[in-house]
Structure 1
Amino acid sequence: MAAKDLYEKDYYQILGVSKGADSDAIKKQYRKLARELHPDKTKGDKKLEDRFKAVSEAYDILSDDKKRREYDEVREAVKSGRVPPGFNGGGQGFNGGDFSDLFGPGGDIFSTLFGGARQRHGADLQTEASIGFKESIYGTELNLRLSPNGSTPANITTRVPAGIKDGAKIKIKGRGAPGAAGPGDLYVLIHVTPHPIFSRKDENIHVTLPITFSEATLGADISVPTLDGDEVTVRIAPGTPSGRTLRVKGRGVKKGLNAGDLMITLDVAIPQRVDGAAKKAIEDFDKATNDFDPRKELFSKAKK
């Protein structure tokens, strides 16, 4: 591929997608065209074969985030006049001007796309680390020991920001593999270990609170543990059903001046065995409330 392809070929038009198309749309359009234009289907039609090659070339650039970004940058540079048409990609224009400073040391734009001899940064590396649920909410310091490409092990310390989610990545600049134009970056994939009682959904923290039958029926004020380590008191209204969720404002994940909420789901706990006075009390309660039929509406609605 000649360097002039960077500004002369409109890969978006060739592939038939908009400049703002996401990776899924690009992949879907390429697969569609590849099925239509595959040489096995076009049976020697030179024009369609050339079209297939052009589509494949466009997809090669646009499906790669780095290549696509650099392709867009060069086209924008030519369009704005920062690089004249005819720039040959080797650091010199047709008139002998040196444009290497425009693209920074190492000439990443051209070395990435064309595999040129210019110096490159080292490869980006990735590692993984596990942190506790509380650490993910409040932030923590991560100590890593890595040996990139078999080199001497290095100790790396980085800060994990508060509120990070499971599966997020942290970028540590300049701690990747070494290269002629400088080292690449290190990406740390974060795994969050589940908590025994707390979970997270968006910026809210969830907990299930067991309550007794009498507390649900008669109402009660009950203490609830929080992730902070202290307790909050919630009021259970008389006749509260199992599964109802109560909200405590501002006791969720904190982000700047804002914070999520603590969501408390009530679970009426039923004893597996009762006898003696407890059994007699329940039997008396059942007789005293025999006019209460919780399934009455169920059967009436079933007939509609």
Structure 2
Amino acid sequence: MSAREWIGKDFYRELGVSSDASADEIKKAYRKLARENHPDANPGNSSAEQKFKAVSEAYGVLSDPVKRKEYDEARRLFGSGGAGGFGFPGAGGTGGFDMSDIFSQTAGGASGGLGGLGDILGGLFGRRGSTASGASRPQRGADVETDVRIDFAEAVKGATLPLRLSSPATCGTCHGNGAKPGTQPRVCPICGGSGLVNRSQGAFAFSEPCRDCRGRGKIIDDPCPECNGEGISTRTRTLTVRVPPGVDDNQRIRLAGQGEPGRGGAAAGDLYVRVHVTPHPVFGRSGNDLTITVPVSFTELALGATITVPTLDAKITLRVPPGTASGRVLRARGKGIRKRDGSQGDLLVTLQVAVPAKLDTAEQKALEAFAEAAAKHDPRPEITRLLRQSGK
């Protein structure tokens, strides 16, 4: 891909975000589009596959602060990817200086560079300035992110899950060199394997990626039928993910070296698995502590009682002291989340009085008798005092 083609792409439009979007907005947009257009969700849909590749490429640039800065600077210089001038007075008009001609210039020429512009283009094409040796240098593979959903108990205790993933990976047919089995790539005769050629435009002299080998330094005469000479193909693979005990909702787990393969022998990127935890109908969580709300009767709180409470493993009994108020929290130590670092949480039991919706005759009479006997106990003494002070 030439510099002009690269800068002509609108990565912000691919992700549907503005050019001043935050990193979180870019990530959110990418995750939504990648999920919608993932090959697993759209089998046989070539347009969805192309969209998936396009948003992945856009996210690879915009998610990296350094690459994004260089891309933004290049777009400003090149009129935001337009085919006209740089935005200088008269650019693209009659007699104006249209810098887009630089990319169509084929005359060989002197060595040199474009200073700041050379640095911008160098960053986008894996080099700095006009250093020829940097054009085909190894490049680490991009990181990949995917999502898994687990239930509450698995998040508490940990789990080992199979993860089926469709993502770019080293081509299994050519093993990454891009050539058909039985053949080998040859050194590009135009750039001598450097991946760069020197060009000149009037007073300017600079280096740009070699068009014959597309900046790789090598030419593949007989491309691999699986990856079409790219050395990378989209494959479906199954990985084993170990979810540690106590994982939080929306937490990411890093699998080193399981991302996109590197180029030129460089290391592969990492795979980040974002965990989504399905809420439990009874239990909640606060840090390493599990929480549960247990309904109790008024008599259990007033007279005291021994109640049975569930945990994720078994049942336990707790003593409710006489005169306990509704809303009090009892603590069952060591019944919470145990993490790999040895930390141990508790089970926090909130007692909540349950009021019957209907009473039979015996219950009605018993409560009326209790209310008459307990009339001397004012449940709202402070409010009563304030009402008296106000004369009401």
Checking the alignment, whether the CA contact within 8 Å between 1:136 and 1:162 is kept in structure 2 is: yes
Per the alignment, do residues 199 and 273 of structure 1 end up closer, same or farther by CA in structure 2, a change over 3 Å counting?
A: same
Shift in Å, 1:301: 5.0
CA distance in 1, matches of 2:367, 2:344: 43
Checking the alignment, whether the CA contact within 8 Å between 2:330 and 2:349 is kept in structure 1 is: yes
Per the alignment, do residues 273 and 257 of structure 1 end up closer, same or farther by CA in structure 2, a change over 3 Å counting?
A: same
Checking the alignment, whether the CA contact within 8 Å between 1:123 and 1:185 is kept in structure 2 is: yes
Q: 1:204 aligns with which of 271, 285, 289?
A: 289
CA distance in 2, matches of 1:270, 1:234: 21
1:145 lines up with 2:175 in the alignment: no
Q: Over alpha carbons, which structure has the higher Rg?
A: 2
1:238 lines up with 2:322 in the alignment: yes
Name the residue aligned to 2:332. 248
Checking the alignment, whether the CA contact within 8 Å between 1:207 and 1:263 is kept in structure 2 is: yes
SS at match of 1:242: coil
Higher helix share: 1
CA distance in 1, matches of 2:127, 2:352: 59
> Which amino acid letter does the alignment assign opposite residue 158 of structure 1?
V
Following superposition of structure 1 onto structure 2, how do residues 250-289 of structure 1 map, counting pairs within 5 Å?
A: 250-255=334-339, 256-289=341-374
Shift in Å, 1:110: 11
Which stretches in structure 2 are left out of the alignment for 5+ residues? 1-22, 24-63, 69-122, 169-232
Checking the alignment, whether the CA contact within 8 Å between 2:67 and 2:124 is kept in structure 1 is: no
SS at match of 2:295: strand
CA distance in 1, matches of 2:66, 2:276: 25
CA distance in 2, matches of 1:148, 1:237: 59
SS at match of 2:291: strand
Per the alignment, do residues 66 and 297 of structure 1 end up closer, same or farther by CA in structure 2, a change over 3 Å counting?
A: farther
1:161 lines up with 2:162 in the alignment: no
CA distance in 1, matches of 2:284, 2:67: 36
1:292 lines up with 2:377 in the alignment: yes
1:213 lines up with 2:214 in the alignment: no
CA distance in 1, matches of 2:139, 2:383: 71
SS at match of 2:235: coil
Shift in Å, 1:147: 1.2
User: Percent identity, aligned pairs only?
Assistant: 44
Shift in Å, 1:239: 1.4
Q: 1:184 aligns with which of 258, 269, 289?
A: 269
Which stretches in structure 1 are left out of the alignment for 5+ residues? 1-22, 24-62, 68-108
CA distance in 2, matches of 1:201, 1:207: 11
> Which amino acid letter does the alignment assign opposite residue 193 of structure 1?
T
> Which amino acid letter does the alignment assign opposite residue 243 of structure 2?
V
SS at match of 1:246: strand
Name the residue aligned to 1:64. 65
Asked which structure has the greater RCO (Cα within 8 Å, sep 6+), the reply is 2
Shift in Å, 1:226: 0.7
CA distance in 2, matches of 1:263, 1:184: 42
Name the residue aligned to 1:129. 148
CA distance in 2, matches of 1:277, 1:129: 54
CA distance in 1, matches of 2:252, 2:370: 57
> Which amino acid letter does the alignment assign opposite residue 163 of structure 2?
L
* 1:189-213 C-alpha deviation (Å, 9 max, x unpaired): 0011101111111111100011011
Name the residue aligned to 2:307. 222
Shift in Å, 1:290: 1.1
CA distance in 1, matches of 2:237, 2:262: 17
Following superposition of structure 1 onto structure 2, how do residues 2-81 of structure 1 map, counting pairs within 5 Å?
A: 64=65
Q: CA RMSD in A?
A: 2.7
Shift in Å, 1:238: 1.2
Shift in Å, 1:231: 1.2
CA distance in 2, matches of 1:112, 1:268: 67
Per the alignment, do residues 244 and 131 of structure 1 end up closer, same or farther by CA in structure 2, a change over 3 Å counting?
A: same
Shift in Å, 1:179: 2.3
Per the alignment, do residues 289 and 188 of structure 1 end up closer, same or farther by CA in structure 2, a change over 3 Å counting?
A: same
TM-score of the superposed pair, with normalisation by structure 2: 0.48
Per the alignment, do residues 208 and 65 of structure 1 end up closer, same or farther by CA in structure 2, a change over 3 Å counting?
A: farther
Checking the alignment, whether the CA contact within 8 Å between 1:178 and 1:184 is kept in structure 2 is: yes
Shift in Å, 1:217: 1.2
Aligned length, in residue pairs: 202
Name the residue aligned to 2:257. 174
Checking the alignment, whether the CA contact within 8 Å between 2:301 and 2:320 is kept in structure 1 is: yes
Shift in Å, 1:184: 1.3
Name the residue aligned to 2:217. none
CA distance in 2, matches of 1:161, 1:113: 40
Checking the alignment, whether the CA contact within 8 Å between 2:337 and 2:345 is kept in structure 1 is: yes
Checking the alignment, whether the CA contact within 8 Å between 1:111 and 1:120 is kept in structure 2 is: no
TM-score of the superposed pair, with normalisation by structure 1: 0.61
Checking the alignment, whether the CA contact within 8 Å between 2:302 and 2:322 is kept in structure 1 is: yes
